[in-house]
Amino acid sequence: MKTIIDFLKAKKEKRKITMISTYDYWSAMLCEKAGIDTILVGDSLGMVIQGRNTTLPVTLEEMIYHAKAVRRGAPNTFIVVDMPFLSYQVNKDEATKNAGRILKETGANAVKLEGGEEIAKTVEKLVSIGIPVMGHLGLTPQSVHALGGYKVQGRTLEQQKKIIKDAKILEQAGVFSIVLEAVPSKLAQEITDFLEIPTIGIGAGNKTDGQVLVLHDLIGIFEKTPKFVKRYMEAGKMIVESLEKFKEEVQEGIFPDENYTYE
Ligand code: KIV
């Protein structure tokens, strides 16, 4: 993906979009090497990197710091940056200034905002001044307290109607793509079918136009991951085994031997 036009083209050509949420130089470098279409600098870094229970405390400065590192690691990849909680909800002017800072200071290509109708005017404003916006519906982690926890959304008819309405409103407001998180596959398919813009699913089945996962989940860093995560490797276990081996070899005087020693 080079521009937002490539997202629309991918949908038209029925080519699935791949997105990885990650937060630093080395992992962005590996995503670019693997040909991942787009990197999301997600505010999930609050949990994955900072060890918090929610994404709410993450600041704009922290997002900018991580997005700069990601851009250095992936100079040729389309990068989307999450706008953190309270950086876009207060008013349109603040949202514009903050989204502008993200693009200016990090070299990212787009921002992502959580929510539907309530942020539509802000989306319109950002898009009108040339800031590409990705939407995010379903389980929106910045609203975890209002949602009563990290729960699948769109199980009731009322919730389904609201998510569908929000998706239409966001498309109308000008987003170039929408993340659908933790919604039933049928609902994600319905939304995907009526939108012209692509949907990117996480815990939303395989009928969306693309998929996103957090890198640390898919490589198995943590012991537990949600149902929708496929663990492509067990990196957490491998790292611990390497560290244990290092400790043992140092304690026994095996490392460093002459291969790792200057004359
Ligand atoms: O913050 C994040 O990483 C996200 C993805 C999980 C979609 O929003």
Q: Could you tell me the CATH number of the domain that includes residue 154?
A: 3.20.20.60
Judge if 17 and 43 occupy the same domain: yes
Kindly tell me the burial class for residue 25, based on how many C-beta atoms sit within 10 Å of its own C-beta (0-12, 13-18, 19 or more): middle
Judge if 215 and 242 occupy the same domain: no
Burial readout 209-244 (b: 16 or more C-beta within 10 A, e: otherwise): bbbbbbbbbbbbbeeebeebbeeeeebeeeeeeeee
Report the pLDDT value the prediction gives residue 252, as an integer from 0 to 100: 98
Judge if 101 and 24 occupy the same domain: yes
Judge if 41 and 166 occupy the same domain: yes
Q: What is the mean pLDDT of the chain?
A: 98
Range of the domain at 27: 4-232
Judge contact between 45 and 67, C-beta under 8 A: no
Total domains present in the chain: 2
User: What is the percentage of the chain residues whose pLDDT exceeds 90?
Assistant: 99
Cis peptide before 256 (omega within 30 of 0): yes
Q: Tokens 């199980």 sit at which residue? A: 155
Judge if 50 and 82 occupy the same domain: yes
Judge if 252 and 145 occupy the same domain: no
More confident residue, 1 or 238: 238
Judge if 44 and 162 occupy the same domain: yes
User: How far apart are alpha carbons 130 and 182 in whole angstroms?
Assistant: 30
Q: Among 133, 143, 202, which is best to mutate for testing ligand 1, by the most ligand atoms less than 8 A from CB?
A: 202
Q: Among 179, 215, 216, which is best to mutate for testing ligand 1, by the most ligand atoms less than 8 A from CB?
A: 179
Judge if 114 and 244 occupy the same domain: no
Judge if 177 and 257 occupy the same domain: no
Atom of ligand 1 nearest to the CA of 141: 8
Judge if 74 and 202 occupy the same domain: yes
- Asked about 181 being catalytic, the answer comes back as yes
> Which residue minimizes the CA distance to atom 2 of ligand 1?
42
Catalytic residue among 105, 181, 196, 223: 181
Q: Tokens 């596959």 sit at which residue? A: 185
The pLDDT tens digits for 189-241 are: 999 999 999 999 999 999 999 999 999 999 999 999 999 999 999 999 999 99
> Which residue minimizes the CA distance to atom 4 of ligand 1?
42
Report the pLDDT value the prediction gives residue 117, as an integer from 0 to 100: 98
178 within ligand 1 shell (Cβ under 6 A): no
The CA 204 to ligand 1 mean position distance, Å, reads 13
Question: What is the average pLDDT across 230-258?
Answer: 98
User: How far apart are alpha carbons 242 and 116 in whole angstroms?
Assistant: 45
Report the pLDDT value the prediction gives residue 161, as an integer from 0 to 100: 98
Q: What is the DSSP string of the chain?
A: --SHHHHHHHHHTTPPEEEEE--SHHHHHHHHHHT-SEEEE-TTHHHHTT--SSSTT--HHHHHHHHHHHHHH-TTSEEEEEPPTTSSSS-HHHHHHHHHHHHHHH--SEEE--BSGGGHHHHHHHHHTT--EEEEEES-GGGHHHHTSS-----SHHHHHHHHHHHHHHHHHT-SEEEEES--HHHHHHHHHH-SSPEEEESS-S-SSEEEEEHHHHTT-SS---TT---S--HHHHHHHHHHHHHHHHHTT-SS-GGG---
The pLDDT tens digits for 79-133 are: 999 999 999 999 999 999 999 999 999 999 999 999 999 999 999 999 999 999 9
Judge if 158 and 242 occupy the same domain: no
Whether the predicted pLDDT of 1 surpasses 90: no
Judge if 147 and 242 occupy the same domain: no
212 within ligand 1 shell (Cβ under 6 A): yes
